A and B are shown apart, each in its own frame.
Chain A
Amino acid sequence: MKITFDWLKDHLDTKFNEDKLLEQLTNVGLEVESVENLSAGLDVFKVAKILKTEKHPNADRLKVCEVDVGEKDIKKVVCGAPNAREGLITVYAPPGAIIPKNKVKLVVAKIREVTSYGMLCSESELNLSNESDGIIQLSSKKHEKKIGKSYFSKSDSNLIDLSITPNRPDCLGVKGIARDLAAAGFGKLKDVKKKKFKSNIEQTVKVKINKEKNQACSSFGSCLITNAKNIESPKWLKDKLISIGQKPISAIVDITNYVMLDINRPLHAYDADKIEKGIIVRNSKSGEEFTALDNKNYKLDDGMCVISDGKGVLGLGGIIGGTRSGTEFDTKNILLESAYFEPASIRKTSKKLNLDTDAKFRFERGIDPSSIEDGLNKAALLIKEICGGEISKIDIQKIETKKIKTLKFDINLFEKITGFKISTKEIYKILEDLGFIIKKKKKYLKLTIPTWRPDISQEIDIVEELVRITGYDKIKIIDPIKERSKSTLTQPQKLFHFFQRAIASKGYLESITWSFTDSNYNDHFKDKNQEIKIINPISSELGVLRNSIFSNLIMYMNKNLDRGFKDLSIFEIGPIFTGSNPGEQNTVVCGLSAGKRSRLSWIEKERSVDVFDVKRDVIQTLVEAGYNSDKFFVDTETPNYYHPGKSGRLFLNKGKDQIAAYFGEMHPNIMKKIDIKTDSLVGFEIFLDNLKLPKKKLKDQKTKFEVSDYQKSERDFAFVVNKEVKAQDLINVISSVDQKLISNIKIFDVYEGENIPKNQKSIAISVTIQSFEKTLNDNDLENINKSIIKTVENKTGAKIRS
């Protein structure tokens, strides 16, 4: 909503200045978005007189004019306007001036070999109207004495742009803003005497509102003005519209706009001669069409509120008029419409048609239903004053009378909500200034709600009005108490934070990528999940919710590789989506590591990152988080985006209840499709929601401290086994031999090749044996040795290497 202080003063008597105004607007909740000086730079445009014109030597259509720009200064200006002639008083723009229409800065220029010092302006160039056929013609009478003076009257009133919240339609009119300011003590609302006219002339255009289901128009006021002459608006009206950045068009259009901006009462003007057999307000039928004032053709559905005549649709009520009945400069007889339309219906229709207009914006927020007559009065009188003609009686058709709303207000609620007190006197004053009518009852106030405040319906709304006008700075500060009755984080939340930092501490940079992704990328990683489409994505590259974090992470990994970084690790912790219903999502930690370790190191041998790097990161993180790695179980069933031979699936225990993590090399096919160039790319996913939370708290887990000080022995074994036998199985078999005595098992070599039969491998294992009860003698150790060899050989088909 754009206003000026000058316009506000039409409704407000105040002694305060503009700085105070801006502060006060913000304080009552009418946020000042920007303040702009529209007249800045306009003072250089001068009233000037053409003294002489000559044909341009090199161009038929151009003239070279000698122009009196005041103070005995004569400028030579090349001008192409057909109406440039000797004696014409017009507007001159000197070099350096910025033309308002196109924001171009004028320079001294040669136009076909003739130097031109400045320009003579058309109305269009000065944003005064659309008139661009010739330069401005000013009347000699009025302007002869003003030659050399600024054309634009100097205005100190800045253009103030307010952000009006959707609950305040009343402040979409200057008067409503003035009312709020007055209530806050910024001045006094002017009691503008409502001029009413008396007329004996009947309104002869018949208006009927069809009584049908969901009729959105509850009343329709109209007034006919006959024999008027639609002309250009007078200067005061033009200035007013220009002052808030609007372009004057014609008197009738300007007047309806002015009334709308002034009191938020949208009007529509029809050329009455173009209406066939009266007006019918009705619901549209599917397939009906009309061409609106935006020159677009609209096809309507069933049930949209239309204003129609005998020939068909004239316009969409409260949204936009049609070209068929629009007013033009030759319009003589004008039918003014002032109606009430239901906000919800307006909104529904405009959404369906994707139509946004000023009228729609106002009606969907709620127009004061009692302003129908005011608006017609104000506009009709202005039209008569400016365009002449005769005004008919006002005709109002109604199918429903809007009830006056009342509400009970207990004044104690104010202190209960705001924490401070104001006097009953103050309460009365504020509410009355805002237009409420107050009746005092025993325990409460009975308030009649102003018709222009559709936002007010309950007690809390009144508290808001009171505190808003009193000022939020009156609210006290009560410092919070430092007291905690519930733990801040739940166990899963703690786990989230732990994993986030545990992974980062292993050299991964945390990334945050969109929750949506490119379906082409998602396809690679969605595994068995369904694709979840966004109906209205921001672009097709962000068209689906991600089924895996990899889709985005690999894209950003690739971008970083393209930036020339070779060895990097990134991760993200966040949601992946398994379905399109609330809650069908899982929290995943997903990491990617690319390139080499120890690249170009003088001391270490460089190597590509591999599956055991990510395996370590996964296992270490889980162990750090408190999970017992002795129970972990790994198999090789992984989704198809992993390298089938170099990836693993991890469970927290052999029961395989839920998948804790995947880790492995990325599938070469995917690397090829994504065109990712790196020495090696490995990744992992840990599924946080699948991790069973430890039942005991740390303090309960740490009660017992048991160590053995008896001597421990290490025994090495080398088994030859079939290639398919997993290291994990060997370890499990060995540890099952005697869980009390075997305290550690380490694989220190895996060997295939010479001296080992084909399809077999040799695994060298070191086993630590220690008792909690005694020092083991040679005999004891020998027994365990034998038992280990026997068990392994029996259970895995291995042979001990001698």
Chain B
Amino acid sequence: MSDLKNIKEKYHTKLNSNLSLDEINQIKTELFGKNGLISSQFKNMRSIPETDRKKFASDLNLIKDELQNLITNKNNEIESKKINQKLENEKIDVTLPERSFVRGKIHPVSQTIDEISSIFSEIGFSVEEGPDIENEYNNFTALNTPDNHPARDMHDTFYLDENKEILLRTHTSPVQVRTMLKDKPPFKIIAPGRTYRSDSDQTHAPMFHQVEGLHIDKNINMAHLKGCLNYFIKEFFEVKKIAMRFRPSHFPFTEPSAEVDIGYEIKDGKIIIGEGNQWLEILGCGMVHPNVLKNVKVDPSKYQGYAFGIGIDRLAMLKYGINDLRAFFDNDYRWLNHFGFDPLDVPTNYRGLSR
């Protein structure tokens, strides 16, 4: 009995002193090794009289647990001390700059095209495309703009041949022609893309972007046209209400034709869309002319519908407060960085068009 007590007291004192990991291991061996003090006591168990044996065993187990715990604690203590010491030496200045990273941007015109596609996608339009080089027929004649018609003067055209039969498309409307010739009605498409006119000044660039819209079905009338554009403009500018004005106009390929103005005002030098009593022209539209439908082999007595054309660059300018059209194509690094969009900012229906 006194043996056990002695062991306990002796090692208690030992384990409470300052020890190294090696010393602890040494103690561990002294106690629990093959011939360790505690291990021997277990072996001696048989020589203990039967009456005392039970008590002895329980005391021995208690002491064993106690010492084992002490060892574990001591171990932990030393290890954490070691880590703390290490941490003490590992302080760095985290205000130093991070490793360099690069960041690309999406051009505002591309972002705007994606926004437009996202909006029209929701109401069932799909995206069509056509070539930048067009023939004179698709760009003009099929669109009810015959040769020697003054309406052709509205488009300053780039030609690729002396006979003026091959040209750079002056609008996205030839995609209407291609789509309708290729497929069967109904048609419900938008066609964004590059367009070209030999015109260059502060407000005109020789290349710009348009999006064409076309919806042809059995009973599509001007109320649908108004509803579609009203929806689009509200969604695009992300406003609840918008003042919109349809004005009669003339395009050879639509009849009746309209130009659409939206209300705006200038507040603190910034243009505010949707309010105020000034009007800004943003698009042209109308009911597709029966002559156009005939030209693309669609029976105008069975099918009718609307078309529209919107200047994408202008929309981008209005929405994002860009003043100078020419800057879109100057590709100044600073401008691209300033007006560009993060590639992860994909306009979608569920997370919204823009942040």
Contact = CB atoms under 8 A, between A and B. Distances in A.
A69 to B, nearest CB: 42
B249 A31 contact: yes
A27 B103 CA distance: 49
Interface stretch (B2-10, B35-43, B59-67, B121-129): B121-129
A472 B225 CA distance: 12
Interface stretch (A196-204, A282-290, A386-394, A576-584): A576-584
B148 interface: yes
A512 B329 contact: yes
Given A482-B122, A575-B132, A165 B100 contact: no
Interface in B191-217: 194, 196, 198-200, 206-207
Interface string B331-342: 111101100100
A560 B333 contact: yes
Interface stretch (A246-254, A528-536, A629-637): A528-536
B74 interface: no
A29 B247 contact: yes
B123 A483 contact: yes
B154 interface: yes
Interface string A453-467: 000001011011001
Nearest to B226: A477
Contacts of A155: none
A167 to B, nearest CB: 5
A510 B227 contact: no
B122 A534 contact: no
Q: What is the size category of the interface that chain B forms with chain A?
A: 35 or more
A512 B109 contact: yes
Interface residues of A, number: 97
Contacts of B131: 582-585
Given A478-B223, A484-B121, A565 B166 contact: no
Nearest to A469: B248
Nearest to B221: A419
A167 B151 CA distance: 8
Interface string A540-558: 0010010000000000100
B320 to A, nearest CB: 15
Contacts of B110: 500, 510, 512
Contacts of B99: 601, 603-604
B230 interface: yes
B291 to A, nearest CB: 8
Given A510-B336, A510-B340, A574-B194, A489 B104 contact: no
Interface in B138-166: 138, 148-151, 153-154, 158-162, 164, 166
Interface in B315-355: 328-334, 336-337, 340, 343-344, 346
A480 B222 contact: no
A667 interface: no
Given A463-B256, A472-B258, A537-B158, A510 B107 contact: yes
A446 interface: no
Interface hub of B149, B161, B255, B256 (most chain A Cβ within 10 A): B256
With a 10 A CB-CB cut-off, give which of A31, A504, A580 has the most chain B CB atoms: A504
Contacts of B228: 480
B246 to A, nearest CB: 4
B105 A504 contact: yes
A663 to B, nearest CB: 17
Nearest to A342: B148
Contacts of B249: 29, 31, 165
A533 B122 contact: no
A129 B241 CA distance: 53
B103 A507 contact: yes
B223 A477 contact: yes
A488 interface: yes
9 contacts: A165-B250, A416-B304, A460-B255, A461-B255, A464-B255, A484-B121, A490-B127, A515-B196, A580-B166
Closest 5 CB pairs of A and B: A507-B102, A29-B248, A165-B250, A419-B223, A504-B104
Interface of B: 96-97, 99-107, 109-110, 114, 117, 120-127, 129, 131-135, 138, 148-151, 153-154, 158-162, 164, 166, 168, 188, 194, 196, 198-200, 206-207, 219, 221-224, 226-228, 230-231, 246-250, 255-259, 287, 289-290, 304, 328-334, 336-337, 340, 343-344, 346
Interface of A: 26-29, 31, 165-168, 343-344, 347-348, 364-365, 416-420, 458, 460-461, 463-464, 467-468, 472-473, 475-490, 493, 497, 500-516, 532-538, 542, 545, 556, 559-560, 563, 565, 568-571, 574-575, 577, 580-585, 597-598, 601-604
Given A486-B126, A500-B110, A516-B206, 12 more contacts: A31-B247, A166-B153, A416-B219, A472-B248, A472-B258, A473-B246, A480-B231, A484-B122, A510-B104, A535-B164, A536-B198, A602-B97
